[in-house]
Amino acid sequence: MGSVTAVGGSGAPKVDPAEAQRRAEEARQKAEAARLAAEARRKAATAARDNLTQARHDAGAARRQKAAAEKTAAAARKAAERPGQTPAEAKKSKEDLAVAEKKLKEATEASRMAAQKLQGAEEKAVLAAKSAEEAMRKANAAAVEESKTPPYSQKDIDKVKPTKNELESAFEGTSRKAELEKLLGLTPPPPPQEVILTAGSGAAPGAPFDAMKTMDAQDVAHGPFGQTHMDSSTDAWFHQRQGSNTGVVPSDAARGNTVPIMPDGSAPSPVTSKQ
């Protein structure tokens, strides 16, 4: 028979120290590069938010200037149309109106440009914040791969990532909605909507859902069809409504008779008894 080669007791492959050191250094460099990239993007996000703050200030100032120019132009127009002016006064008021309308035109354009700049700043701030968030998570993952403590806490990430208000502002009025959806990896936030009940729900058509919580209490005070007093017909209507909800037998106040409730919750048609 042939000879048998002895195998080590553990059977585990030998680890080359040089290779292990190379891999460790590679992981360290990767983690450090990810951390530096995250820091750069975090600074960019902070700068974008600072620019957004300035853009909001500029847009607000431009809107106020436009509003002031509109008032000035309206006053100048009223003065130019005032009857009984001398030729010199009419000429002066006409010139003042021309100046006011020119300034209004300039203020309107400045406001439009400031609003456009603000929209761009809102989009850049959201994109920069999203990029910083992703970079910070990537840096954390690289640190874990290196068996080191992640450089960013969840609080750090929450502080830099886009807020709900920033997302809504970025999507509102933008002409790049589809592009933003792709870059941010999400759909635009839905606009706030009030849930409206349809006819047949037991409330007036178009009544908000929350209003149903107080409908019965309001019915006591107002009765059907907006009545503000409780006459006999209103009293009968209210008791019949309450009976349908609670099982209480409604009364016919007009005739003074008790109306039994059918198994399906409806009241039977009145039957005239023979005398």
271 or 113, greater pLDDT: 113
254, pLDDT greater than 70? no
Whether residue 187 is predicted with pLDDT greater than 50 in this model: the reply is yes
Q: Between 99 and 16, where is the model more confident?
A: 99
Averaged pLDDT for residues 103-109: 97
CA distances from 123 to 52, 128, 229, 245, 265 (A): 9, 9, 57, 52, 58
Looking at per-residue pLDDT, the higher value among 185 and 103 belongs to 103
List, for residues 110-140, the tens digit of each pLDDT value: 999 999 999 889 889 998 999 999 999 999 9
Structure tokens at 1: 């028979």
> Which one has a higher pLDDT value, 251 or 161?
161
Mean pLDDT, range 251-267, rounded to an integer: 49
Question: What pLDDT band is residue 43 in, cutting at 50, 70 and 90?
Answer: very high
